[in-house]
């Protein structure tokens, strides 16, 4: 399999530091950088996968908020019981289910 060459520019101090670390790891600089980049990519992908559900919830909330438009300038009447339950579920997602059970609009 043919290899692809990637050229990078570094400050001399960075280059020397990478050379020293590669040497301590028993690798040449190229192998060391490939290993470091591959490890970083795997870590990033794992984090993205772990938070994909949260990112989807946020995107859906932002879409819904954009469709809802501006907030009314006048205060809104008290929440219905169903709206209070919706708020509680949303707060549970944000703060976790073990938070104090204060109702929306009431002191904790």
DSSP per-residue string spanning the chain: -----------HHHHHHHHHHHHHTT--HHHHHHHHHHHHHHHHHHHHHHTHHHHHHHHHHHHHHHHH-SPPSSPPPPPPHHHHHHHHHHHHHHH-TTS--PPTTS--
pTM (2 decimals)?
Answer: 0.52
Q: Mean pLDDT throughout 98-103?
A: 57
- The pLDDT value recorded for residue 88 is 86
Checking if the pLDDT of 97 tops 60, the result is yes
pLDDT digit string, tens, across residues 7-43: 999 999 999 999 999 999 999 999 999 999 999 999 9
**Domain boundary assignment for the chain:** 10-69, 78-108
Q: How confident is the model at residue 100 (pLDDT cuts 50, 70, 90)?
A: low
């Amino acid at each position: 399999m043919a290899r692809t060459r990637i050229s990078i520019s570094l400050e001399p101090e960075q280059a020397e530091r990478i050379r020293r670390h590669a040497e301590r790891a028993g690798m040449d600089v190229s192998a060391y950088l490939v290993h470091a980049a591959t490890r970083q990519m795997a870590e990033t992908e794992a984090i993205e996968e772990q938070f994909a559900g949260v990112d989807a919830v946020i995107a859906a909330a932002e879409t819904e908020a954009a469709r809802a438009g501006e907030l009314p300038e006048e205060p809104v009447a008290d929440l219905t019981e169903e709206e209070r339950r919706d708020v509680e579920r949303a707060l549970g997602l944000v703060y976790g289910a073990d938070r104090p059970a204060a109702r929306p609009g009431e002191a904790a």
